[in-house]
């Protein structure tokens, strides 16, 4: 049974496409093609703006999709979040002109500009300020000081905020790319299995990206020390060398641990150390 998948256009598209490619799913189509053909998995694919995806998945127009957590919350979409992919992290922040006093501003009515109507309303009501919200449609950072006292916008580096002589006074929320599904489709046995299979493929790729395969040799009297140093997904693989001249050891190790681990292995007597990339790990 074909799964209907919706993919985001724009900034977060690149990492999602690479993840699918590493899962063995190839999309064929040019930059102007909003309906690429998928090979490697039974998918019907459409590209839309990330802002529209949560609502359309909730309505069942698409079975699964990818969108930022900010737009899931902004649309108040009742969907199943299958996986936080952690891609393209941004903060939704409140900003005011760099030489204004935030404490003093909260004592008077404010004009606030934002693309995020619901997220902004929830935040402003929570902090208890008197405000008028103006919906912006891009380039929110240019509103202050003439057209707004404050903005609520997303940022990854803060560069644009500083360039427009603004300063961040609070963080409303943090957002990353989410893999989401329609609630009703999760009750469809056939489609649920395909979604679970796809999620397993994605997780195997993510696991593989986090680890490398370390292989090494050691003598008989060094094996206990070597194995004791090695972290692994379960246990290191150990096999005897030809003519019982020692042991060959393999272990899937997190990339973050490699820098400190290899010197320790060498000191413990490991030789012929090989580090190999892992495409998938389950």
**pLDDT tens digits, 127-149:** 999 999 999 998 999 999 999 99
Alpha carbons 37 and 31: distance in angstroms, whole number = 13
Domains 3-87+177-187 and 90-174 agree in fold:
yes
**What are the distances in angstroms from CA 8 to CA 11, 38, 64, 95, 271?**
8, 15, 12, 27, 47
Q: What is the pLDDT of residue 282?
A: 84
Q: What is the CATH number of domain 90-174?
A: 3.40.190.10
Q: What is the pLDDT of residue 199?
A: 96
Would you give the DSSP letter of residue 61? S
pLDDT band at residue 31 under the 50/70/90 scheme: low
**Do 115 and 69 meet the contact criterion of CB atoms below 8 Å apart?**
no
**Do 134 and 113 meet the contact criterion of CB atoms below 8 Å apart?**
yes
Please enumerate in sequence order all residues whose Cβ is within 8 A of that of 144, keeping only pairs 6 or more positions apart, or say none.
95, 96, 97, 113, 150, 151, 164, 166
Q: Where are the domains of the chain?
A: 3-87+177-187, 90-174, 211-277
**Do 155 and 83 meet the contact criterion of CB atoms below 8 Å apart?**
no
Q: What is the CATH number of domain 3-87+177-187?
A: 3.40.190.10
Q: What is the pLDDT of residue 218?
A: 96
Check whether 204 has a pLDDT greater than 90: yes
Q: What is the pLDDT of residue 233?
A: 72
Q: What is the pLDDT of residue 13?
A: 83
**What are the distances in angstroms from CA 270 to CA 184, 212, 251, 257?**
54, 17, 13, 16
Check whether 179 has a pLDDT greater than 90: yes
**Do 56 and 182 meet the contact criterion of CB atoms below 8 Å apart?**
no
Check whether 175 has a pLDDT greater than 90: yes
- The average confidence (pLDDT) of the chain is 94
pLDDT digits 0-9 by tens, 106-125: 999 999 999 999 999 999 99
- Which fold is adopted by the domain 211-277? Alpha-Beta Plaits (3.30.70)
């Amino acid at each position: 049974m074909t799964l209907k998948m919706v993919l985001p256009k724009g900034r977060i598209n690149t990492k999602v496409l690479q993840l699918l490619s590493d899962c063995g799913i190839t999309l064929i189509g040019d930059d102007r093609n909003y309906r690429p053909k998928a090979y490697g998995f039974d998918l019907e694919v459409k590209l839309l703006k990330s802002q529209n995806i949560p609502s359309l998945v909730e309505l069942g127009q698409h079975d699964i999709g990818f969108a930022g957590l900010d737009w899931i919350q902004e649309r108040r979409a009742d969907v199943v979040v299958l996986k936080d992919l952690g891609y393209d992290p941004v903060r939704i922040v409140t900003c005011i002109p760099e030489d204004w006093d935030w404490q003093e501003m909260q004592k008077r009515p404010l004009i606030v500009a934002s693309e995020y109507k619901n997220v902004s309303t929830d935040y402003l009501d929570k902090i208890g300020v008197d405000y008028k919200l103006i919906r912006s449609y891009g380039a929110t950072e240019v509103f202050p000081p003439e057209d707004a006292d404050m903005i609520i916008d997303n940022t990854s580096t803060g560069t644009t905020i500083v360039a427009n002589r603004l300063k961040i006074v609070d963080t409303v929320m943090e957002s990353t790319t989410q893999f989401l599904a329609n609630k009703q489709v999760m009750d469809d046995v056939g489609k649920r299995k395909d979604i679970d299979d796809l999620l397993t493929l994605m997780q195997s790729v993510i696991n593989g990206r986090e680890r490398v395969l370390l292989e090494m040799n050691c003598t008989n009297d060094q094996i206990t020390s070597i194995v004791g140093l090695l972290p692994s997904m379960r246990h290191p693989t150990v096999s005897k060398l030809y003519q019982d001249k020692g042991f060959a050891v393999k272990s899937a190790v997190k990339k973050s641990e490699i820098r400190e681990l290899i010197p320790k292995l060498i000191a413990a007597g490991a030789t012929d150390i090989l580090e190999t990339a892992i495409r998938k790990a389950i």
